[in-house]
Structure 1
């Protein structure tokens, strides 16, 4: 059963279910599949606790003040205000919080008793069994964007059409191709990458072929997702100051000419861009590539989970590395929390680089000492961290800064917490110049603190 079908059965909105999963920090893999098929435990919980979920939805939809929330959950106002300040939800001019703030979610963060929720999900899914780590907010945002593909009622009842084009934008190494594959999986389309040699004119088996020929063939095939890398370069705005490759310009014209046919031909094109700033505004026009999805670098918690995943991936139970990790309690996420906190604005690929470097260093140390009880100390971790920081260049940090500008202009209301966290991490790399000391003697009238 799909989530939207369960929601309709129980007369509870799909949005409310999505917010509930995030508020109560439930693992997606315990609740539903990538295709939004609900798991048996989650369906049983929803049906047996429908009254609670309806009260949760009613509270979610109701605008309220800090005082209203505190009264509802019987918690001190100052504690409620502390949680509110961290989450920074939207406010009306009169100080009332808009909907999407859950009193129950705040109560749960303040230690309210919701054991009945977690009793249904007692067995945590191992990292290797998950479709992906973290990113629940991004997964739900993408799922909402893909609703016309999943739910036929969108077009039948509301006239909402499938998007013809989507742009995944974010800094290098953040996982845009992963999410493009995940989108193909969600909507049941075949993932096809547009190779560089498809652009322009080329010869295949002695026959001349062009990108236009390739695109026509893709539209003939059933349910195809076309993934195009370097989308911001190919689709960039031409001007007197900016010259554009003639091959890229021809590709852009072909796509803009054909995009109106994508929906009826069951073709979805996804462009991967480092930034939105260079893309021609014609490309972003309604009915073209008007669905913009930001792909963030992982936050601190996601980084620690990714480190654990990549350190233990595909290891058999009797492997030496797993024995060493267990001896250091490094087979659990808390061990990696400290080093993950030092990986500010790290991309997914930088985290993989860290784990590969660390594995090699652990192996070299073991070959030297033959000791399964070896200590994974700060020196070892910092050496691997130093290797991974090689890609943390000024150019990469500039890309992060531009991404924050892009997402602030386009998707801030969808990801306010992520934007603020990423901005804070980026600012930690900025050098603050110390004020210079005044030359001369300090007089009695001078304030030495100044």
Structure 2
């Protein structure tokens, strides 16, 4: 059963159910599949607790004060205020919070008793079996954008059409190709990567072909997602200071010529860009690539999960590494929280570099000590951290800063908490310049001016 069907049967909005999953930190894999089929446990929970879900939705839709939230959940006002400050809640001038904040979500963060929820999802899904980690906010944001593909009634009822083009933008190593594949999976389209040599003229089986021929051929296929890397370079605005290659200009013209036909031909083009600042405005115009989706580096909690996932992926329970991890309690997330907190603004790629380096260091030490109970200490962890930090260059930090500027302009309301957290992490790398003292003695007249 699809989520939207369950929501209709229960008379609870699908948006409220999505927000409930986020507020209560439920793993997506325990609740729904990638194409929004509801899992058996979650369907059972929803049907048995429909009264609570309706109460949750009613509260979510209401504008409310701190006092009203505190009264609803029977928590001290001061604790509620502190919890709210850690959310991205917007507040009206009259002190009421917008409907995007849930009293019960606040209560859950303050340790409220919701065993009736977790009894259904008490057995945590193995990290090895996870489809992806964290990013519930980005997943639901993307699924909302893709709703016209999943629910054709939206076009009839609201005139909301399928997007023809999407731009995934974010710093290198943040996982844009992963999310492009995820989009294809959600809407059940075939993923096709547009290779660089497709953009020019080439020979296939002795016949000359070009990008125009390629696009025409793709539009004849059934449900295709075309993934185009380096989108910001290919679609760069034509300005005096920009040296746009002639083949890229030709690619722009061909795409602009055919993009109006993409929707009717069941084609979706997804571009991958480090930044959107230099992309030609014609490309980003309505009906073209007007959907911009930011792909953030993982936050602190996601970094811990990704590290654990990468350290244990495909490991046999009897393997030496798994035994060493288990003896150090490193087969659980809390072990990694401290080192992950030092990896500010690290990309997914840097996290993988860290785990590969750490595995090698653990192996080398084991070969010396021959003891499964060896300690994974600060020396091992910090050595691997230094290796991974090699990619944390000034250029990369500048790309993070540019990404923040892009996302503040294009997606501020959607990702306020992530923006705030990433900005705070980036600022830790910005050196504070100390005021320079003048060389020599200070004259009396200068002292008088200071007084």
| Fold similarity call, TM over 0.5 | yes
Deviation string 1:38-66 (CA, Å, 9 cap, x unpaired) is 11110111111111111110110001111
Partner of 2:376: 376
The residue aligned with 2:26 is 26
Q: Secondary structure at the match of 1:282?
A: coil
Give 1:393 deviation, angstroms: 0.4
- The aligned runs of 1:14-413 (5 Å cut-off) are 14-413=14-413
Structure 2 CA distance for aligned equivalents of residues 346 and 191 of structure 1: 28
Q: Secondary structure, in 3 states, of the residue corresponding to 2:120?
A: helix
- C-alpha distance in 2 between matches for 1:369 and 1:65: 60
Q: Report how far residue 362 of structure 1 moved.
A: 1.0
| Distance apart, 1:202 and its partner CA | 1.2
**Cα deviation, residue 369, structure 1:** 2.1
CA distance in structure 2 between the partners assigned to 1:208 and 1:37 by the alignment:
45
**Superposed CA RMSD:** 1.5
CA distance in 2, matches of 1:441, 1:252: 63
Cα offset, 1:441, TM superposition:
8.4
Residue in structure 1 matched with residue 13 of structure 2 by the alignment: 13
Corresponding position of 1:420: 420
Distance 1:269 1:390 in 2: 34
SS at match of 2:226: strand
Whole-Å Cα distance in 1 between the matches of residues 83 and 443 of structure 2?
46
* Alignment match, 2:2: 2
Query: Structure 2 CA distance, aligned partners of 1:22 and 1:440?
Result: 62
Deviations 1:182-209 (A, max 9, x none): 1111100000000011011111222110
Please give the alpha-carbon distance, in whole angstroms, between the structure 2 residues aligned to 1:48 and 1:440.
Answer: 80
**Alpha-carbon shift at residue 363 of structure 1 (Å):** 1.1
In 2: Cα distance, 1:231 partner to 1:408 partner: 20
Change (3 A) 1:304 1:283: same
Segments of 5+ residues of structure 2 without an aligned counterpart are none
Aligned to 2:167, what secondary structure does the other structure show?
strand
In 1: Cα distance, 2:328 partner to 2:369 partner: 16
- Taking structure 2 as the reference length, the TM-score comes to 0.96
**Separation of aligned partners in 1, 2:310 and 2:441:** 58
SS in 2 for 1:225: strand
CA distance, structure 1, for counterparts of residue 223 and residue 68 of structure 2:
49
Aligned partners of 2:176, 2:323: CA distance in 1, in Å? 34
Q: Deviations over 1:112-151 (max 9, x none)?
A: 1111111111211011111100000000000000000011
Paired residue secondary structure (2:219): helix
User: Which moves more between the two structures, 429-438 or 228-237?
Assistant: 429-438
Please give the alpha-carbon distance, in whole angstroms, between the structure 1 residues aligned to 2:168 and 2:66: 36
CA distance in 2, matches of 1:202, 1:106: 58
Q: Give CA-to-partner distance per residue, 1:249-278, whole Å, 9 cap, x none.
A: 000110011000001100000000000101
Per-residue deviation, residues 366-423 of structure 1 (Å, max 9, x unmatched): 1222221211110111111101011100000000000000000010110000000000
Segments of 5+ residues of structure 1 without an aligned counterpart are: none
**Superposed displacement of residue 88, structure 1:** 3.6
Query: What's the CA shift for 1:434?
Result: 2.4
Task: Look up the SS of the partner of 1:293 in the other structure.
Answer: strand
